[in-house]
A and B are shown apart, each in its own frame.
Chain A
Amino acid sequence: MCSLCGMLGGRGHWTETATNAETFQGRAESHTWHRERQDRARLVNKVLKYYGMSLNDWAATSFVLRSHTGQNSIVSNLTEMWAAAESLIHRECDPLDEDLLSALAEDGVGR
């Protein structure tokens, strides 16, 4: 919270189109706020699968990140999620990792 003006919370995460509606005008018709959250979880899960983790929307307010050992963490946006993911599995989640990219390509073709 801003202690000078009493404003609660931040501005929303930069990836969320709802917090930047003016920038993404037109897209809102095909991507409702709810659909965007579902899409985000669906796409993230394609990546998290490689690390043995999964993400679920929780009451449309947060996301629950789960590791294959049953550990979980509640996160509110993607930035928090990647930090939590590395912390849960004690491993780097690197989008430049060629093995990850190969796994994504195999998953993405013909499915």
Chain B
Amino acid sequence: MTEYAALIPVNVITGFLGSGKTTLLQKLLASPQLRDTAVLVNEFGEVGLDHHLLENVAEGTLLLDNGCLCCALRGDLQESLRDLFSRRERGEIPRFQRVVIETSGLADPVPIAYTVLAEPVIQHHFRLGNIVTTIDAVNGRGQLDRNSESVKQAAVADRLILTKTDLASAGQVNALRMELRRLNVGAVLIDSGTDDLDPERLLTDDTYDEVSRAREVDRWLLDEGLNSGISEHKHGSHAHDEIYSFCVKYDVPLDWTAFGVWMTMLLNRHGDKVLRIKGLLNVEGVATPVLINGVQHIVHPPTHLERWPDTDRRSRIIFIVRGLSQHRIEASLSAFNMLANPVSLAGVPVKDTAQPALGASLSRP
């Protein structure tokens, strides 16, 4: 097991007011698979949670010196997670194997993710697991139109759970599904009324769990969003601050060093506008696909699959952005990858690389 995989996963369950977060959590915690789970809640709601490790966290946000809002640490969570781990190590509480945080309805999940990924103590003991967002099928569309919190909760999710679908019309549900796909092409969309809500599918399967990694990537690839064409957008058609998602598909192997230079530069300048990245990369000189996963300025350590999941060898990167141009991102990635593999005017490689890229090109889904 790698060092990173050995860290305690932290799942975030978020969703707008009344969207069914606690009901979902209640169902999940009933499963024996989650018996060693500690739960942090922002507020005790009307739905009771009966759990032996339940902690209340008052909301509060600490801004870092650089003042970037997306890099805000959640001070309350910082204290809670440190304290929880300390008590676990002292034997005062059971040795929990997972933490689930239920946010308040108006919470921005990004500072929570940032706290887990970047806080100096916490990052040594915890890692970020799936972010699960509940959306009320009846009121969800209106909430997305009116509340920026709701949009952000949906945009950064790994799992989007449609709730109360039995109370909504088919038209309402379809319109909401389309909007959620536009916002977040990479998340698995689950209907709580008809689909299984098993803990594996929602919480424990992720790309850092060595057992479920391949299964999780299959979900990305089989998911309707990546293959439906919803990710195709007319270039330049997005408002300055609109959140939307797209998938960049890249034909030639990526030079890892050039990719690192490009991505760090992109996140340094635009990290506040890159809500999520998730990708399956074909890296030059590496036989197996490399998985990347990031939330705003922070990128998880890359991991890999034992084998390619299908015959498609293209790199596929999902971006969820606020107002950035898909076309510019594609052109920029291509230009930086060409730095490692420059070609002459005649299209002949001029550098003796192991696997030169000839005429790097992007392909549309």
Question: What is the interface of chain A, defined by CB distance below 8 A to chain B?
Answer: 1-5, 7, 10-12, 14-15, 17, 19-20, 22-27, 30-31, 36, 39-40, 43-44, 46-47, 77-79, 81-83, 86, 92-96, 98, 101, 104-105, 108-111
B49 close to chain A: CB less than 8 A: no
A27-B286, A96-B328 known; A109-B344 Cβ under 8 A: yes
Residues in B whose Cβ lies below 8 Å from that of A24: 256, 283, 286, 290, 304
Taking a contact as CB atoms under 8 Å apart, the answer to whether A95 and B344 are in contact is no
| Interface contact A11-B269, CB-CB below 8 Å | no
Q: For the complex, is B309 an interface residue (Cβ under 8 Å from A)?
A: no
Contacts of A2 in B (CB 8 A): 120-121, 124-125
Which B residues from 247 to 275 make CB contacts under 8 A with A? 256-258, 260-270
B336 neighbours in A (Cβ, 8 Å): 47, 95, 104
Instruction: Mark out the residues of chain B between 219 and 246 whose CB falls within 8 Å of any chain A CB in the assembled complex.
Output: none
**Chain A residues near B85 (CB-CB < 8 A):** 4
A24 to B268 CA separation, bound complex (whole angstroms):
24
Q: With a CB–CB cut-off of 8 A, which chain B residues contact A81?
A: 264
Given A36-B257, A95-B262, A95-B265, decide whether A101 and B332 contact each other with a Cβ distance below 8 A. yes
Closest to B257 in A: A39
**Contact residue among B82, B261, B287, B329 (Cβ-Cβ distance under 8 Å from A40):** B261
Contact between A82 and B301, CB atoms less than 8 A apart = no
What are 8 A-to-B residue pairs whose CB atoms are below 8 Å? A3-B121, A19-B301, A31-B285, A40-B260, A47-B336, A81-B264, A95-B262, A95-B269
A92: chain B residues within 8 A (beta carbon): 269
- Are B345 and A109 within 8 A (Cβ)? yes
Those of B146-173 within 8 Å (CB) of chain A = none
Contact of B338 among A20, A78, A105 (CB under 8 A): A105
Contacting residues of chain B (129-187) with chain A, CB-CB under 8 angstroms: none
| B313 interface residue per 8 A CB criterion | no
Question: Are the CB atoms of B331 and A23 closer together than 8 Å?
Answer: no
Flag if B354 contacts A30 (CB, 8 Å): yes
Known: A15-B261, A110-B345. 10 other contacts (CB 8 A): A14-B299, A14-B300, A39-B340, A82-B264, A82-B268, A83-B268, A86-B268, A96-B270, A96-B332, A109-B343
State whether the Cβ of B335 lies closer than 8 Å to any Cβ in chain A.
yes
* A47 in contact with B339 given A4-B125, A24-B256, A27-B285 (CB within 8 Å): yes
**Chain A residues with CB under 8 A of B324:** 96
B197 to chain A minimum Cβ distance, whole angstroms, is: 32
* Distance in angstroms between the alpha carbons of A55 and B3 in the assembled complex: 31
Q: Is the Cβ of A23 less than 8 Å from the Cβ of B260?
A: no
Interface hits, B335-352 → A, CB 8 Å = 335-336, 338-340, 342-345, 350
B177 to chain A, nearest CB (A): 31
A56 vs B111: C-alpha distance in the bound complex, in angstroms? 34
The answer to whether A7 touches B124 (Cβ under 8 A) is: yes
The distance in angstroms between the C-alpha atoms of A65 and B340, with both chains bound, is: 20
Which of A14, A77, A86 has most B Cβ within 10 Å? A14
CB closest chain-A residue, reference B354: A30
B363 contacts chain A at the CB level, 8 A cutoff: no
- From B5, which residue of chain A is reached at the shortest CB distance? A22
Report Cα–Cα, A22/B354, bound state, in Å.
20
Using known A-B contacts A4-B82, A4-B89, A96-B329, determine if residue A27 contacts B264 with beta carbons closer than 8 Å.
Answer: no
Min C-beta distance of A68 to chain B, whole Å:
19
Give the docked Cα–Cα distance between A3 and B82 (Å): 10
Instruction: Say if the beta carbon of B86 comes within 8 Å of chain A.
Output: yes
A38's closest neighbor in chain B, by CB? B257
B301: A residues at CB distance < 8 A: 11-12, 14, 19-20, 23
- Cβ–Cβ < 8 Å partners of B339 in chain A: 43, 46-47, 104, 108
Q: Which residue of A lies closest to B340 (CB)?
A: A43
The chain A residue with its CB closest to the CB of B120 is A2
Closest Cβ–Cβ distance, residue A72 to chain B (whole Å): 19
Contact of B4 with A by CB under 8 A: yes
Q: Which residues of B contact A86 (CB under 8 A)?
A: 268-269
Q: Does B42 contact A (CB under 8 A)?
A: no
CA distance A21 to B81 in the complex (A): 29
Q: Does B23 contact A (CB under 8 A)?
A: no
Tell whether B302 is near chain A: CB-to-CB under 8 Å: yes
Give complex CA distance A10, B283 in Å: 25
Distance A92 CA – B48 CA, assembled complex (angstroms): 50
Any A CB within 8 A of the CB of B212: no
- Taking the nearest CB of chain B, how far is it from the CB of A87, in angstroms? 11
